[in-house]
Amino acid sequence: MKTTLTYIGHSAFYIKSQDNGILIDPFISQNPKAKFDANLPITNIFVTHGHADHLGDAVSLSRKTKAPVAAIFELANYCAQKGAFADGVNMGGTLKFEWGCAKFLPAFHSSSTPEGIYAGMPASILFDIGGIKVYHAGDTCLHQEMKILGEIYKPDIALLPVGSHFTMDIDDAVVAAKWIGAKKVVPMHYNTFDAIAVDINDFKQKLQKENIEAVVLNPSESIEL
């Protein structure tokens, strides 16, 4: 089964698996650096937490495509109030789909809606898409739950924030990559604005020393999973 992962920009990704289109943290219209073909099918939307650079266009895209927004309970309720189709879950919960499943796991961060309303706990999400495990870490610092991920869930590929300021930095992301144990790591949440500017080659080189492949994608670039 052919599955592709496309980087949209910031922490936004699009995964295409047969007729399914999975959108994660769709910060698109308000991100000048984002690139996304709006004609692609969208069947599921996932949001890790309520901050505007992750919630992004989730509500309007859900209203347009009828794709449900899967998020932590409080954030899903907020999306439903705004007219989205929503599926509220909580930590440890797994949602099952025809393409596989998605499990909500911890992230250490904060979470509020663009209006400043409490949006529940921030999350990371572990996807199993036709047997391939993709871990989206959300916004987070380095945390020990990542050791459990490596021990129990063994993701094939990890999407990790590296921009510092609001999340872990490159050095902590290298430790996270080791703990998670994924063979490939895609950096995210960097260079969107000045506060999170990094030299991504530094990350590439540091991961290489650990025999982990850094897959650096520009917006609109894809890899096959």
Contact residues toward Ni ion (CB under 5 A) are 51, 139
53 binds Mn ion (CB under 5 A): yes
| Cβ-based nearer residue to Mn ion, 100 or 138 | 138
Residue 196 Cβ vs Mn ion, minimum distance, rounded to whole Å = 8
- What is the Cα–Cα distance from 66 to 42, expressed in whole angstroms? 9
| Cβ-based nearer residue to Ni ion, 20 or 167 | 167
Residue 58 Cβ vs Ni ion, minimum distance, rounded to whole Å = 14
Structure tokens at 199: 């030299």
DSSP string, 27-79: --TT-TT----TTS---EEE-SSSSHHHHTTHHHHHHHH---EEEEHHHHHHH
25 binds Mn ion (CB under 5 A): no
Residue 49 Cβ vs Ni ion, minimum distance, rounded to whole Å = 6
| Cβ-based nearer residue to Ni ion, 16 or 54 | 54
Q: Count other C-beta atoms under 10 Å from residue 166's C-beta.
A: 16
Residue 184 interacts, among Ni ion, Mn ion, none and using kind-specific CB cut-offs from 5 to 8 Å, with none
∠ CA 42-48-52 to the nearest 5 degrees?
85
169 binds Mn ion (CB under 5 A): no
Under 8 Å between Cβ of 223 and 5:
yes
| Cβ-based nearer residue to Mn ion, 57 or 139 | 139
Which among 14-22, 138-146, 177-185, 217-225 is the span making contact with Mn ion, rule CB under 5 A?
138-146
Residue 216 Cβ vs Ni ion, minimum distance, rounded to whole Å = 22
Residue 25 interacts, among Mn ion, Ni ion, none and using kind-specific CB cut-offs from 5 to 8 Å, with none
Residue 10 interacts, among Mn ion, Ni ion, none and using kind-specific CB cut-offs from 5 to 8 Å, with none
139 binds Mn ion (CB under 5 A): yes
- What is the Cα–Cα distance from 202 to 105, expressed in whole angstroms? 28
Residue 30 Cβ vs Mn ion, minimum distance, rounded to whole Å = 12
Residue where the block lists tokens 């996932």: 46
Under 8 Å between Cβ of 186 and 157:
yes
Residue 129 Cβ vs Ni ion, minimum distance, rounded to whole Å = 24
87 binds Mn ion (CB under 5 A): no
Which among 20-28, 78-86, 88-96, 132-140 is the span making contact with Mn ion, rule CB under 5 A?
132-140
What lies within 8 Å, CB to CB, of 45 at 6+ separation is 22, 23, 24, 26, 58, 61, 62, 67, 68, 69, 70
Q: What are the helix (H) ranges across the chain?
A: 52-55, 58-65, 73-81, 145-148, 170-180, 200-209
Binding site for Mn ion (CB under 5 A): 53, 139
